[in-house]
Amino acid sequence: MHEIVYFESPGFAEVSRFCLELSGLEWKNTVVDWDGYMQLKEKGDLPWGYLPIIRSPDGIVAESNALLRYTGALAGLEPEDLFIRAKVDELVEVINGWREAFIPTFSIEDLDEKIAARQALFVEDGKMDRALKAISHVFEQSTTGWLANTESMSIADIKAFMDTFMMFSGQFDGVTADMLANYPSLLAFHEKMSNEPKVKKYYDNDDKARWVFRPDAFLDIGDSQHI
Ligand SMILES: N[C@@H](CCC(=O)N[C@@H](CS)C(=O)NCC(=O)O)C(=O)O
């Protein structure tokens, strides 16, 4: 039995929650609030002091990308070929690196300043604009339709899908869904991923925090290159 422990939000755990679901193994989704987090920390259950963690039959694993690779492997999503696997990891790391641009905005207390700082990331040639255009290009260049040019969905697709569209859920002041109009290929990627039968089934519910992962989430945005 595997247990993921994290806050309620999709945040850094969503990719691994989804991979565990795909794995078909029995797993438990344990949601904690801040007090629960502090208790785990005081108990010494968090190897590096942060969530998410997975409790596996062999012990605790921390760090969201380690969790993604572990649960991705359990789900059979990790390529056997080591070069292809490295190319998948390359994308996973690049996407993780987006946090460096985004996370400093969390500590800005003044709301107008916070909004302005985030919007600056998405204006033409801003850090996130460049990042989203770069990942769009990767998608456009793929001959298989999967980001890392794999034969089937890899953890890079899951990471890109969840980390990209979570930003536009409305939970981050200053980042709005209409900004996606600048990235038509990403909208096509969204259409592909959200309609994948396993993704579609997982999000076929009323969970308001996860609307961005459903097929109809951005249908009215911009001039998407729907596939
Ligand atoms: N590098 C870690 C970062 C994890 C992280 O920052 N977790 C946040 C929640 S998203 C946390 O535990 N915050 C508690 C705190 O800041 O004290 C990972 O990718 O898992």
Split at pLDDT 50, 70, 90, the class of 29 is very high
Give yes or no for residue 36 CB within 6 A of ligand 1: no
6: CA distance to ligand 1 center in Å?
A: 9
Beta strands 2-6 and 59-62 are unpaired
Between CA 19 and CA 14 the distance in angstroms is: 9
Q: Could you write out the DSSP letters of every residue in 22-88?
A: HHTS-EEEEE--HHHHHHHHHHT--TTS-S-EEEETTEEEESHHHHHHHHHHHTT-S-SSHHHHHHH
Nearest atom within ligand 1 for CA of residue 50 = 12
Q: Is the separation of the CB atoms in 52 and 13 below 8 Å?
A: yes
Report CA(30)–ligand 1 centroid distance (Å).
16
Per-residue pLDDT tens digits for 96-151? 999 999 899 999 999 999 999 999 999 999 999 999 999 999 999 999 999 999 99
* Residue 42: band (very low, low, confident or very high) from pLDDT cuts 50, 70, 90: very high
- pLDDT at residue 136, as a whole number: 96
Q: Is 11 in the pocket of ligand 1 (CB under 6 A)?
A: yes
Ligand 1 centroid to Cα of residue 127, in Å, is 22
- Domains in the chain and their CATH numbers? 2-74 (3.40.30.10), 82-196 (1.20.1050.10)
For range 34-56, the mean pLDDT: 97
Q: What is the band of 162 on the pLDDT scale with cuts at 50, 70, 90?
A: very high
9-38 mean pLDDT: 96
Contact 166, 212 (CB under 8 A): yes
The closest residue, in CA terms, to atom 13 on ligand 1 is 50
> Quick one: which of 182, 190, 183, 192 has its CA closest to 136?
183
Task: Please work out whether the CB of residue 50 comes within 6 Å of at least one atom of ligand 1.
Answer: yes
- Partnered with residue 61 across adjacent β-strands are 54
